[in-house]
Structure 1
Amino acid sequence: MCSNWECRAVNLVSYGTTHHNKTNGKPCFEINTKLGFAMIDSIGGAVKVNNFLATLDLKLISLENLKEMERRAGEVIEALSAESQRRSAEEAYKKEMEDIAKEEIQESRQKMEEADGIEDLGVWLPPDSSPLLR
């Protein structure tokens, strides 16, 4: 709150970088989201975070707030995972189609080489054709 007794306006001051999860609402501090990622990835949950903070003799964070951080981070991880799976499926499909095309090309080349009179991509002449054409 402003210290001027006539103003008394509330000033919002952020103490770190923030981001918005939705188009409206208050911003989230990035450090909280990073803590949510850490809880999912390596620390192992809200209780272990508080145990870690207690070991460092720091103030504990309420379990509700930690769960909210974890939930927000989980949504981001799930979205990234879905996008990664979609890209991997597309790449696998393209690779499989390329492999099938290569196999079909090799099969057609073998069939062409096995046919009489075709050594290259020239014209095939029937056996009863004029000798002048050969």
Structure 2
Amino acid sequence: MDPPPAEKSAHLQSYCSKTGRVVDVSTRNALSENICAQSVELLNEHLAAANDLHTQVKQSHWNVRGPGFIAIHELFDKVAEDIEGYSDLLAERAAGLGGTARGAVHGGDDLKRGEALQMFKAELTC
């Protein structure tokens, strides 16, 4: 078995909310700076999508009606809780790679807003 690769410092730029400036941040891991930057970008795309999904699930949770209300209401609450946990993981991994977790949902086409909740819109007749 080959030994693990030597740790390297990845230098990325991060936004400092205290000063409002972009600062250089370095982390120690076995990934190249390029791989770290690409990973942070991808993690942030998924973080934004997860936050969008969380908002949509909570919206559904708040607006459930009908005789099956409580079961579906509780289901949406559990799903939202799970999504929030995964969002935290995505954000922490982006930060751990030296990036800034950016979970804001941008209204752009790249996020395909609204598609994430399609699985929950299947004939929920209560």
TM score, norm. by length of structure 2: 0.29
- Kindly name which structure, 1 or 2, has the bigger radius of gyration based on alpha carbons: 1
TM score, norm. by length of structure 1: 0.27
Q: Whose helix proportion is higher, 1 or 2?
A: 1
